[in-house]
Amino acid sequence: MQIGLNSGTFPATWNPAEKVEATARVGATGLELNIDATQLWTQRVQGAERLSLRGQAQDAGVKITSLCMNAHWVFNLASPDVRIRDLGVSLLLDAIVMAEELGASAVLVPGCDMDQSPENRWDLFRDGVMQAVGRAEKSGVSLALEAVGKPFLFDTASLLRMIDDCGGSDSLGIYLDVGNSARGGMDPAAEIRAAGQRSVLCHVKDWNPNDPMDRRLGAGGVDFPPALAALADIGYDGYLLVELPPNPSDGDVVARQSVDFLKQALGE
């Protein structure tokens, strides 16, 4: 398995090029770019800038692994407002194109609804994903659905049902998250094994149950050895992507500590 970083592990004020540099600097080999509602990189990075970013990453020995659709928490696929749903789909389609141009293999689609989403939220979310499946298939980019603590797509079993309801395309998969599983009271290893060959990528995060300010890997909220063993059992050889908030006083420190922790956990 390889070690990568979600771009949110670095300060929000850094641009994608700076985050590529930092990824290489701390010893990771993969970077996932967040597409936030306040920083729509799908719109801000265009044309030649994308080619430049891809080239910079390759020169640095960093693969841009994926794009993470954080913007869907705002432009929600299960919104009661059709205009917001349409914007969410449009952003997802843009992300697929950007992922292809950057050489990224996946776009993370958070399994989130809104408090005001109607009772047919499942159908609305499914219909939004379905509008992007054909583009994903043509691009060779996977749409990876992640359970993010929302009841209607809470666990791997729910994600698998959603994939089946979307037609079961090979371009639809699951984005594992050992931290989300543990925080939801589930067994991360069991969730990993249930996802099996539908697994696309894997987020890692942690927290200290006795100290909410302690968010480092190894803080105690996640039992990593069984989770890593389960990943090996299903033949997963992709990226472990750290998803933690940065330290405001040192933009590299969280990423560097996380890389060191994972290297030790992987026996490197």
The span from the CA of 108 to the CA of 106, in Å, is 6
The span from the CA of 98 to the CA of 150, in Å, is 27
Average confidence score pLDDT of the chain: 97
State the pLDDT at residue 136: 98
Contact of 268 with 28, CB cutoff 8 Å: no
- pLDDT-based confidence at 213, cuts 50/70/90? confident
The span from the CA of 20 to the CA of 104, in Å, is 14
Tokens for 266, please give them. 């992987």
Report the number of distinct structural domains present in the chain.
1
pLDDT of 240 higher than 90? yes
**SS3 (DSSP) at 83:** helix
The CA-atom distances, in angstroms, between 263 and each of 88, 116, 238 are: 37, 43, 14
* CATH value at residue 37: 3.20.20.150
Q: What is the per-residue pLDDT across 79-133, written as a single tens digit (0 to 9) for each? A: 999 999 999 999 999 999 999 999 999 999 999 999 999 999 999 999 999 999 9
State the pLDDT at residue 50: 97
Tokens for 86, please give them. 């349409």
Q: What is the per-residue pLDDT across 141-199, written as a single tens digit (0 to 9) for each? A: 999 999 999 999 999 999 999 999 999 999 999 999 999 999 999 999 999 999 999 99
pTM exceeding the 0.75 threshold for the entire prediction: yes
User: Could you tell me the residue range of the domain that residue 99 belongs to?
Assistant: 2-265
Contact of 148 with 162, CB cutoff 8 Å: no
Backbone φ and ψ of 142, nearest 5°? -85, 140
Residues whose CB falls within 8 Å of the CB of residue 267, separated by 6 or more in sequence, listed in order: none
Neighbouring-strand partners of residue 3: 240
